[in-house]
Amino acid sequence: MNEENKHNKKLERYGFSYERGGVHTARTMMLVELRALLSYVEKADAPKSEYLDAIQAANCLGKRSGKTRTLTYRHLVDLYALDPSLMLFRALRFFWQRDVDGQPLLAALCAYSRDPIFRATAPYILDFQEGATVAREALEEFIDNQEPGRFSKATLKSTAQNINSSWTQAGHLSGRARKIRTRAAPTPGTVSFALLLGYVTGLRGESLLKSDYTRMLDCSFDRTIELAEDASRRGWISLKRVGQVVEVLFPNLISAQEMEWLREQN
């Protein structure tokens, strides 16, 4: 096992996923369903089984058949884990309840951490200038170039449509048939979540504010600091900054066991 695979394996303990599949061949990031599910299951520490019951037994998402309910549950688990024993989902719920405006970006950050196809398209989408057209055909070509021949033409088309839809739900694109690059709307909660994801992967100090996760926020370094300071004042994270030295800590979000893993990693 090479170093990258070893590192990824360690990150899976926190809820990251590096499986080869990806929900986006079949669905979008399912923001509507996630919102409905997290409204229905109100307890932040509810076990994974309660989410299954909510979708299958209570049919809180209004799906017609048992098979559709099962598939919906599986897709949501693949995207968001739905498991409070995993830091990624615990943190998602923590900010979800406290930062309603940030929900689309919070979902996108979580899906990015768990869905490899969606994650692979991030640099492509984020590189577009605001106002530029993002053609589905060009995205299909980009996806195909990652692993030539992996997907059929039909699957490439539906995957590109789903990915474009997810980036639209997240706020990075707008429009229906013709997608235009727009700026996402970062919030104190989304900045905190992005910093936490960077922290768990091993980043510290100023590099935390320039990670692949903070890049998802579409905001400047100074604005990222402002929003992080806001989150710190609210008690969501702890931010200390003296000149160029930045220290960010997450006392509400990382368990003692997870801190132990981080010490081992570093």
Instruction: State how far the Cα of 20 lies from the Cα of 8, in Å rounded to an integer.
Output: 13
Residue with tokens 């577009």: 128
Sign of CA dihedral 80, 83, 84, 85: negative
Comparing 116-181 with 188-265, is the CATH topology the same?
Answer: yes
**Who contacts 171 (Cβ-Cβ below 8 Å, separation ≥6)?**
104, 105, 182, 183, 184, 185, 218
Q: Tokens at residue 228, please?
A: 């992080």
Domain extent listing, the chain: 3-97, 116-181, 188-265
The 10s digit of each residue's pLDDT in 252-265 is 899 999 999 999 88
> pLDDT category, 245, cuts 50, 70, 90?
confident
pLDDT in tens, 169-223: 999 999 988 999 999 999 999 999 999 999 999 999 899 999 999 999 999 999 9
Q: Which one is predicted more confidently, 22 or 53?
A: 53
Q: How far is CA 14 from the centre of its chain?
A: 13
Protein fold of 116-181: Arc Repressor Mutant, subunit A (1.10.10)
**Structure-derived torsion over alpha carbons of residues 63, 64, 66, 67, reported in degrees to the nearest 10:** -90
d(CA 17, CA 230): 30
| Tokens representing residue 215 in the block | 């890049």
**Fold of the domain built from segment(s) 188-265:** Arc Repressor Mutant, subunit A (1.10.10)
Predicted TM-score of the model (pTM):
0.96
